[in-house]
Amino acid sequence: METALAHPIFRPLRASLKQLAAPLGADLEQMNALAESAGLRVKSGKPLRFVAPTAAASSYGDYEMRVFRTGCVETRPDNRHDFFNALAWLAFPATKAELNALHAGEIPLERGRRGRFRDLLTLLDEGGAIVACDDRALIEMLREHRWKELFWSNRVRVRQAMQVHVLGHAVLEQALRPWPGITCKVMFVAADVDPDESACAGLRGLSRTATPRDLASLPVFGYPGWSAGSESEVFYDDQRYFRPRAVTSAGRMPSGVGQAAAVAVRRAEESPGSAERDAG
């Protein structure tokens, strides 16, 4: 299984993985040593720490509020979903902290009724990717779901001008056994900048009226070279995975929720406290 970690989708995690004696079996002590060494903190200023779930933790309220108030991220031992969440914190600390802070800021305003803005935040947390690209034509192809044109006709250009950094821990967990239907919701940043800091800045600029429909979808294993099938033109004709963009009765063309991004939200329910987080 650890051979799977050589795939390019795990590149943002490599710096942390190299410091772990058993990359898929690291304990909380090892993960906390990496967080402490990097001086990671949540937006409240509390040091980031990975802790085993306890009944006492519920006294701090909602999962996201507990993370924000205490800096403690509940992480179940020997659970890969939680393990990849910890790795995402280590690889994208600014973005993860901003996602958490936005949740924490929104929860008191919801009066017990979860809003679509937090749905958007959860999709990015569980199934998000940062797309670094300055080529507006390629970005337009992605937004319009012109997958074959993007990934096949312009595959050389994509490799040169578009980099994909996956931060969604549910997607990273699924990627241990990759399949073409794994789909992310994406944030766009400029090329040749720190993707973590740039995505964090983009999150700060989001309108609180934003919803998941405002996010583009990306079948990440369509990226040239990320799957064996991507070396064949007919691979991109399979509309089970490379679906055209739907037009609604009102004439709008929503991004939609990618198949695996929707799975990511369901998988989120397995995380400590995430039933509160996802159900509101």
pTM of the model: 0.87
pLDDT by residue (tens digit) across 71-101?
A: 999 999 889 999 999 999 999 999 999 999 9
CB within 8 Å of 83: residues ≥ 6 apart: 24, 26, 75
Neighbours of 157 (CB within 10 A): 14
Task: Give the tens place of pLDDT for each residue, 3-23.
Answer: 889 999 999 999 999 998 887
Quick check: 180 pLDDT over 70? Answer: yes
CB of 122 closer than 8 Å to CB of 278: yes
Query: For helices 63-70 and 93-110, what crossing angle results, to 10°?
Result: 120
Span 32-59, average pLDDT: 90
Confirm if 95 and 40 have CB atoms less than 8 A apart.
no
DSSP type of residue 73: E
Strands 49-51 and 183-189, sheet pairing: unpaired
Nearest to 67 by CA among 36, 38, 98: 98
Rounded CA separation 115/103 (Å): 10
CA distances from 136 to 60, 77, 102, 158, 239 (A): 45, 43, 29, 12, 24
